[in-house]
Amino acid sequence: MRTTRSSSRVGTGLNLLFPLSRSVVLWQLGIVLTAVNAAGQPSMLSRPRDLLTADPRAFAEWVETAAPKPVRPEDKARSLRALPTEGEVTNLTDVVRRKLNAVDQFLRAAGRDSIYDIKVVDIPLARIALYDRSALLISEHALQLVDEKDLQALVAHELGHEYVAADYLRASQLGDHNRLKQLELICDAVAIVILHGRGLDPSRLMSSVERITRYNRKSRGTMVDERGYPTLDERQAFARAVTAWVTRQGDRRSLR
Protein backbone atom coordinates (compact mmCIF):
# COMPACT_ATOMS: atom_id res chain seq x y z
CA MET A 1 0.00 0.00 0.00
CA ARG A 2 1.29 3.46 -0.86
CA THR A 3 0.88 6.45 1.39
CA THR A 4 1.49 9.86 -0.17
CA ARG A 5 3.95 11.86 1.90
CA SER A 6 5.34 14.66 -0.19
CA SER A 7 5.62 18.22 1.02
CA SER A 8 2.63 20.01 -0.43
CA ARG A 9 -0.95 20.68 0.49
CA VAL A 10 -3.62 21.92 -1.86
CA GLY A 11 -7.35 22.40 -1.81
CA THR A 12 -9.66 23.35 1.01
CA GLY A 13 -13.05 21.86 0.34
CA LEU A 14 -15.30 19.11 -0.87
CA ASN A 15 -15.81 20.62 -4.30
CA LEU A 16 -12.04 20.69 -4.86
CA LEU A 17 -11.59 17.05 -3.97
CA PHE A 18 -14.09 15.50 -6.37
CA PRO A 19 -16.38 16.57 -9.17
CA LEU A 20 -19.62 17.63 -7.47
CA SER A 21 -21.77 14.63 -8.37
CA ARG A 22 -19.19 12.12 -7.20
CA SER A 23 -18.31 14.00 -4.03
CA VAL A 24 -21.91 14.22 -2.89
CA VAL A 25 -22.44 10.52 -3.45
CA LEU A 26 -19.23 9.41 -1.83
CA TRP A 27 -18.93 11.66 1.18
CA GLN A 28 -22.42 12.74 2.15
CA LEU A 29 -24.21 9.47 1.44
CA GLY A 30 -21.19 7.30 2.20
CA ILE A 31 -21.57 5.07 -0.87
CA VAL A 32 -18.71 2.72 -1.52
CA LEU A 33 -18.30 2.15 -5.25
CA THR A 34 -17.36 -1.52 -5.38
CA ALA A 35 -18.37 -4.61 -7.26
CA VAL A 36 -20.18 -7.38 -5.43
CA ASN A 37 -18.32 -10.59 -4.74
CA ALA A 38 -19.03 -13.26 -7.34
CA ALA A 39 -20.29 -15.57 -4.60
CA GLY A 40 -23.09 -13.09 -3.86
CA GLN A 41 -24.53 -12.18 -0.48
CA PRO A 42 -25.67 -14.97 1.83
CA SER A 43 -29.26 -14.91 3.03
CA MET A 44 -28.06 -13.96 6.52
CA LEU A 45 -27.22 -10.51 5.14
CA SER A 46 -30.78 -9.79 4.09
CA ARG A 47 -31.65 -8.12 7.41
CA PRO A 48 -29.45 -7.27 10.39
CA ARG A 49 -31.57 -9.19 12.90
CA ASP A 50 -31.47 -12.32 10.73
CA LEU A 51 -27.73 -12.33 11.18
CA LEU A 52 -28.03 -12.98 14.89
CA THR A 53 -29.93 -16.23 14.27
CA ALA A 54 -27.01 -17.69 12.31
CA ASP A 55 -23.92 -19.49 13.56
CA PRO A 56 -21.27 -16.80 14.19
CA ARG A 57 -18.54 -19.24 13.18
CA ALA A 58 -20.18 -19.69 9.78
CA PHE A 59 -20.50 -15.95 9.35
CA ALA A 60 -16.88 -15.38 10.37
CA GLU A 61 -15.75 -18.01 7.89
CA TRP A 62 -17.79 -16.32 5.18
CA VAL A 63 -16.21 -12.95 6.00
CA GLU A 64 -12.77 -14.54 5.60
CA THR A 65 -13.46 -16.48 2.40
CA ALA A 66 -15.87 -14.18 0.56
CA ALA A 67 -13.78 -11.02 0.57
CA PRO A 68 -13.97 -9.51 -2.91
CA LYS A 69 -10.93 -10.02 -5.08
CA PRO A 70 -8.79 -6.93 -5.71
CA VAL A 71 -9.55 -4.88 -8.77
CA ARG A 72 -7.24 -5.40 -11.72
CA PRO A 73 -4.09 -3.25 -11.63
CA GLU A 74 -5.13 -1.36 -14.74
CA ASP A 75 -8.54 -0.58 -13.24
CA LYS A 76 -6.96 0.61 -10.02
CA ALA A 77 -4.55 2.83 -11.91
CA ARG A 78 -7.43 4.33 -13.88
CA SER A 79 -9.43 5.00 -10.70
CA LEU A 80 -6.48 6.67 -9.01
CA ARG A 81 -5.87 8.86 -12.05
CA ALA A 82 -9.49 10.00 -11.82
CA LEU A 83 -8.96 11.37 -8.31
CA PRO A 84 -8.10 15.07 -8.46
CA THR A 85 -4.89 16.08 -6.75
CA GLU A 86 -6.58 19.20 -5.36
CA GLY A 87 -7.78 18.44 -1.87
CA GLU A 88 -5.20 15.75 -1.14
CA VAL A 89 -3.03 16.45 1.90
CA THR A 90 0.53 15.25 1.41
CA ASN A 91 2.40 17.17 4.12
CA LEU A 92 1.79 14.68 6.92
CA THR A 93 2.80 15.10 10.55
CA ASP A 94 4.47 12.34 12.52
CA VAL A 95 1.25 11.80 14.46
CA VAL A 96 -0.74 11.28 11.27
CA ARG A 97 1.90 8.94 9.90
CA ARG A 98 1.70 6.81 13.03
CA LYS A 99 -2.05 6.57 12.62
CA LEU A 100 -1.74 5.61 8.97
CA ASN A 101 0.86 3.00 9.89
CA ALA A 102 -1.72 1.51 12.24
CA VAL A 103 -4.12 1.31 9.31
CA ASP A 104 -1.43 -0.45 7.28
CA GLN A 105 -0.92 -2.97 10.07
CA PHE A 106 -4.63 -3.65 10.34
CA LEU A 107 -5.08 -4.09 6.59
CA ARG A 108 -2.08 -6.41 6.51
CA ALA A 109 -3.67 -8.56 9.21
CA ALA A 110 -6.90 -8.58 7.21
CA GLY A 111 -5.10 -9.52 4.02
CA ARG A 112 -5.99 -6.24 2.30
CA ASP A 113 -2.75 -4.28 2.65
CA SER A 114 -1.75 -4.31 -1.02
CA ILE A 115 -5.18 -3.39 -2.34
CA TYR A 116 -5.74 0.26 -1.41
CA ASP A 117 -3.74 3.43 -1.62
CA ILE A 118 -4.26 5.56 1.49
CA LYS A 119 -4.94 9.24 0.92
CA VAL A 120 -5.54 12.00 3.44
CA VAL A 121 -8.03 14.55 2.17
CA ASP A 122 -9.01 18.06 3.17
CA ILE A 123 -12.81 18.26 3.30
CA PRO A 124 -15.16 19.90 5.81
CA LEU A 125 -16.50 16.65 7.29
CA ALA A 126 -14.92 13.92 9.37
CA ARG A 127 -15.18 10.99 6.95
CA ILE A 128 -13.56 7.71 5.94
CA ALA A 129 -14.53 5.94 2.72
CA LEU A 130 -13.39 3.52 0.07
CA TYR A 131 -13.17 4.91 -3.44
CA ASP A 132 -13.63 2.52 -6.37
CA ARG A 133 -12.08 -0.27 -4.27
CA SER A 134 -8.75 1.39 -4.99
CA ALA A 135 -8.21 4.12 -2.40
CA LEU A 136 -8.96 4.52 1.28
CA LEU A 137 -9.77 8.19 1.79
CA ILE A 138 -9.45 9.63 5.29
CA SER A 139 -10.28 13.24 6.07
CA GLU A 140 -8.05 15.37 8.25
CA HIS A 141 -10.90 15.95 10.69
CA ALA A 142 -11.38 12.20 11.15
CA LEU A 143 -7.68 11.77 11.86
CA GLN A 144 -7.80 14.51 14.49
CA LEU A 145 -10.77 12.97 16.28
CA VAL A 146 -9.62 9.36 16.67
CA ASP A 147 -6.56 7.45 17.78
CA GLU A 148 -4.90 4.48 16.08
CA LYS A 149 -7.22 1.80 17.47
CA ASP A 150 -10.32 3.85 16.71
CA LEU A 151 -9.09 4.34 13.18
CA GLN A 152 -8.58 0.61 12.70
CA ALA A 153 -12.15 -0.01 13.86
CA LEU A 154 -13.55 2.56 11.43
CA VAL A 155 -11.56 1.04 8.58
CA ALA A 156 -13.02 -2.36 9.49
CA HIS A 157 -16.49 -0.88 8.91
CA GLU A 158 -15.39 0.35 5.49
CA LEU A 159 -14.19 -3.15 4.65
CA GLY A 160 -17.69 -4.30 5.50
CA HIS A 161 -19.04 -2.18 2.66
CA GLU A 162 -17.22 -4.35 0.14
CA TYR A 163 -19.49 -7.26 1.01
CA VAL A 164 -22.73 -5.36 0.38
CA ALA A 165 -21.59 -2.96 -2.32
CA ALA A 166 -24.07 -3.80 -5.07
CA ASP A 167 -27.00 -3.77 -2.68
CA TYR A 168 -25.82 -0.47 -1.19
CA LEU A 169 -25.44 1.18 -4.58
CA ARG A 170 -28.87 -0.03 -5.67
CA ALA A 171 -30.53 1.22 -2.48
CA SER A 172 -28.79 4.57 -2.87
CA GLN A 173 -29.98 4.95 -6.45
CA LEU A 174 -33.53 4.14 -5.38
CA GLY A 175 -33.40 6.42 -2.37
CA ASP A 176 -34.26 3.44 -0.15
CA HIS A 177 -33.13 4.87 3.16
CA ASN A 178 -34.47 1.97 5.21
CA ARG A 179 -32.33 -0.48 3.25
CA LEU A 180 -29.30 1.79 3.56
CA LYS A 181 -29.76 1.78 7.32
CA GLN A 182 -29.90 -2.02 7.35
CA LEU A 183 -26.73 -2.26 5.29
CA GLU A 184 -24.88 0.12 7.60
CA LEU A 185 -25.72 -2.19 10.50
CA ILE A 186 -24.53 -5.20 8.54
CA CYS A 187 -21.23 -3.42 7.86
CA ASP A 188 -20.94 -2.82 11.60
CA ALA A 189 -21.44 -6.55 12.15
CA VAL A 190 -18.73 -7.44 9.63
CA ALA A 191 -16.40 -4.96 11.32
CA ILE A 192 -17.05 -6.40 14.78
CA VAL A 193 -16.33 -9.93 13.56
CA ILE A 194 -13.12 -8.81 11.87
CA LEU A 195 -11.96 -6.90 14.95
CA HIS A 196 -12.81 -9.68 17.38
CA GLY A 197 -11.11 -12.26 15.21
CA ARG A 198 -7.88 -10.31 15.33
CA GLY A 199 -7.86 -9.64 19.03
CA LEU A 200 -8.93 -6.00 18.72
CA ASP A 201 -11.56 -4.26 20.82
CA PRO A 202 -14.91 -4.10 18.94
CA SER A 203 -16.21 -1.41 21.30
CA ARG A 204 -13.84 1.03 19.61
CA LEU A 205 -16.10 1.04 16.57
CA MET A 206 -19.13 2.56 18.25
CA SER A 207 -17.18 4.97 20.44
CA SER A 208 -15.43 6.40 17.37
CA VAL A 209 -18.63 6.44 15.27
CA GLU A 210 -20.33 8.44 18.01
CA ARG A 211 -17.44 10.89 18.27
CA ILE A 212 -17.37 11.51 14.51
CA THR A 213 -21.15 11.72 14.19
CA ARG A 214 -21.45 14.29 16.96
CA TYR A 215 -18.58 16.31 15.50
CA ASN A 216 -20.19 16.46 12.06
CA ARG A 217 -23.56 17.41 13.53
CA LYS A 218 -22.09 20.18 15.64
CA SER A 219 -19.69 21.69 13.15
CA ARG A 220 -21.28 20.88 9.78
CA GLY A 221 -24.92 20.21 10.55
CA THR A 222 -26.29 21.60 7.28
CA MET A 223 -23.95 19.37 5.25
CA VAL A 224 -24.82 16.11 7.01
CA ASP A 225 -27.49 13.85 5.51
CA GLU A 226 -28.25 11.08 8.01
CA ARG A 227 -31.35 9.65 6.30
CA GLY A 228 -29.43 6.57 5.22
CA TYR A 229 -27.90 5.91 8.65
CA PRO A 230 -29.36 4.27 11.75
CA THR A 231 -29.48 6.42 14.85
CA LEU A 232 -26.58 6.21 17.25
CA ASP A 233 -28.79 4.37 19.73
CA GLU A 234 -29.76 1.81 17.08
CA ARG A 235 -26.17 1.25 16.07
CA GLN A 236 -24.96 0.92 19.62
CA ALA A 237 -27.72 -1.53 20.57
CA PHE A 238 -27.05 -3.68 17.52
CA ALA A 239 -23.30 -3.59 18.09
CA ARG A 240 -23.78 -4.82 21.65
CA ALA A 241 -25.98 -7.66 20.39
CA VAL A 242 -23.46 -8.65 17.71
CA THR A 243 -20.56 -8.55 20.17
CA ALA A 244 -22.47 -10.77 22.61
CA TRP A 245 -23.41 -13.12 19.75
CA VAL A 246 -19.80 -13.45 18.65
CA THR A 247 -18.23 -13.85 22.08
CA ARG A 248 -20.93 -16.18 23.41
CA GLN A 249 -21.03 -18.66 20.55
CA GLY A 250 -17.60 -18.54 19.00
CA ASP A 251 -14.11 -18.31 20.42
CA ARG A 252 -11.41 -16.20 18.84
CA ARG A 253 -9.72 -19.10 17.11
CA SER A 254 -12.88 -19.82 15.13
CA LEU A 255 -12.94 -16.26 13.84
CA ARG A 256 -9.55 -16.36 12.17
Strand partners, 9: 89
**Given pLDDT bands bounded at 50, 70 and 90, which one contains residue 33?**
very low
Q: What percent of the chain has pLDDT over 90?
A: 55
Write out the E strands in 122-192: 128-131, 135-139
253 pLDDT more than 70: no
Q: How far apart are CA 246 and CA 58, in angstroms?
A: 11
**CA geometry: angle 23, 77, 110, nearest 5 deg:** 85
The pLDDT tens digits for 79-124 are 999 988 788 999 999 999 999 999 999 999 888 888 999 999 999 9
The pLDDT tens digits for 118-163 are 999 999 999 999 888 889 999 999 999 999 999 999 999 999 998 8
Strand partners, 135: 117, 131
248 pLDDT more than 80: no
Point out the least confidently predicted range of 73-82, 167-176, 193-202, 246-255: 246-255
- pTM for this one? 0.81
Q: Is 94 exposed, middle or buried (0-12, 13-18, 19+ CB in 10 A)?
A: exposed
What is the rounded average pLDDT of the residues 32-42?
36
> According to the model, what pLDDT value does residue 17 have?
40
Q: Is 163 exposed, middle or buried (0-12, 13-18, 19+ CB in 10 A)?
A: buried
Nearest to 209 by CA among 162, 131, 146: 146
